[in-house]
């Protein structure tokens, strides 16, 4: 399984990096929308929405929300005003803080025979739309935005990889045994170290000065922490329905949501932290 995971990553990662670094923001947003909406489709399945028509309607509603944000943000010259994108990003940060609280209430919204499903459907929108807006905000920044989006995503990839290998070899203390039995405290530490190291390594290529590196490290730590919340929250959804993965599209990795759960949680806080600390 480890070999399969590595091979799949080696195939997909170059395409993702090329898209972030070289695609114009409008085209990147379209591509990210496709990926994120595919993840949302799997989210609806984990929310126990089995009817294809119902899931399609829900997906179209979220797509329409994306289109509405872009339409309302258009400027006369053809560019975008990022005010709505920034507002949605802030909402996303607030949502993931609430999601962290949700994790401490394992049984909350676990009964899909009641109105509980509504909470998970709303959570899907609050996770996906702000992450997409954060990607737009970061990438659309004229000050090395393409590079900064790569840094934001790469640190999550590094944290995920570091946590996986450190946890496998040195993990002993369970991080959240009821939600994700395989995650360990040691893995979390390994992920934090790997994520911060990658952020500091690539930040200068995105235009960061030496004086800005401590701020980059701080934002990276918080972003990795949020990515863990995103990972655990998806695990919570899976535990509620008895699923191992959100899908089987990517060999060795599971579904799309299994690969983007940490990214969608980290992007809003990275975008907000970058703007707040000014790098």
Confidence at 4, pLDDT banded by 50, 70, 90: low
Residue pointed to by tokens 């360990």: 184
Q: What is the pLDDT of residues 195-207, one digit of tens each?
A: 999 999 999 999 9
Whole-angstrom Cα distance, residue 193 to residue 96? 22
Q: What percent of the chain has pLDDT over 70?
A: 93
| Whether the predicted pLDDT of 253 surpasses 60 | no
CB atoms under 10 Å from CB of 13, counted, come to 13
Q: For the segment 91-144, what is each residue's pLDDT rounded down to a tens digit?
A: 999 999 999 999 998 888 888 766 778 899 999 999 999 999 999 999 998 789
When pLDDT is averaged across residues 244-271 and rounded to a whole number, the result is 84
Q: How far apart are the first and last CA of the chain?
A: 39
- Given a cut of 80, whether residue 5 has pLDDT beyond it is no
Residue 236 has pLDDT above 60, yes or no: yes
pLDDT-derived band at 80, boundaries 50, 70, 90: confident
pLDDT(76) > 70: yes
Would the pLDDT of 9 be above 70?
no
Q: Report the mean per-residue pLDDT for the chain.
A: 91
Lowest-pLDDT range, 11-15, 49-53, 146-150, 228-232?
A: 11-15
What is the distance of C-alpha 178 from the center of its chain?
22
Strand bridging mode 180-184 / 174-176? antiparallel
At CA 256, angle to CA 187 and CA 71, rounded to 5? Answer: 120
d(CA 179, CA 252): 20
Q: Tell me how far apart the alpha carbons of residues 117 and 120 are, in angstroms, rounded to a whole number.
A: 5
Q: What is residue 9's three-state secondary structure? A: helix
What pLDDT, on a 0 to 100 scale, did the predictor assign at position 39? 95
So what's the pLDDT on residue 27? 96
Count of residues for the chain?
279
Closest CA to 136 of 35, 273, 29: 29
């Amino acid at each position: 399984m480890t070999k399969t995971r590595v091979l799949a990553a080696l195939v997909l990662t170059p395409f993702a990096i090329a898209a972030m670094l070289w695609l114009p923001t409008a085209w990147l947003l379209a591509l990210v929308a496709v990926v994120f909406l595919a993840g949302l489709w799997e989210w609806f399945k984990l929310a126990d929405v089995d009817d294809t028509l119902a899931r399609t309607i829900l997906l179209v509603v979220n797509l329409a929300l994306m289109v509405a944000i872009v339409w309302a943000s258009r400027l006369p010259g053809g560019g975008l005003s990022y005010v709505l994108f920034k507002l949605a990003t802030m909402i996303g940060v607030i949502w993931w803080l609430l999601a962290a609280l949700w994790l401490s209430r394992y049984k909350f919204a676990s009964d899909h025979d009641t109105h509980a499903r509504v909470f998970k459907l709303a959570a899907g929108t609050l996770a996906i739309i702000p992450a997409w807006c954060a990607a737009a905000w970061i990438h659309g920044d004229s000050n090395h935005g393409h590079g900064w989006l790569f840094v934001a995503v790469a640190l999550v990839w590094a944290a995920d990889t570091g946590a996986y290998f450190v946890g496998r070899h040195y993990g002993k203390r369970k991080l959240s045994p009821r939600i994700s039995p395989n995650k360990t405290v040691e893995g979390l530490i390994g992920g934090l170290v790997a994520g911060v190291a990658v952020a500091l390594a690539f930040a200068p290529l995105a235009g960061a000065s030496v004086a800005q590196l401590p701020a980059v490290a701080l934002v990276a730590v918080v972003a990795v922490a949020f990515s863990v919340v995103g990972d655990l929250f998806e695990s919570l959804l899976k535990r509620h329905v008895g699923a191992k993965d959100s899908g089987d599209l990517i060999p060795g990795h599971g579904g799309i949501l299994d690969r983007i759960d940490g990214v969608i949680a980290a992007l809003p806080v990275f975008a907000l932290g970058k703007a707040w600390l000014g790098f």
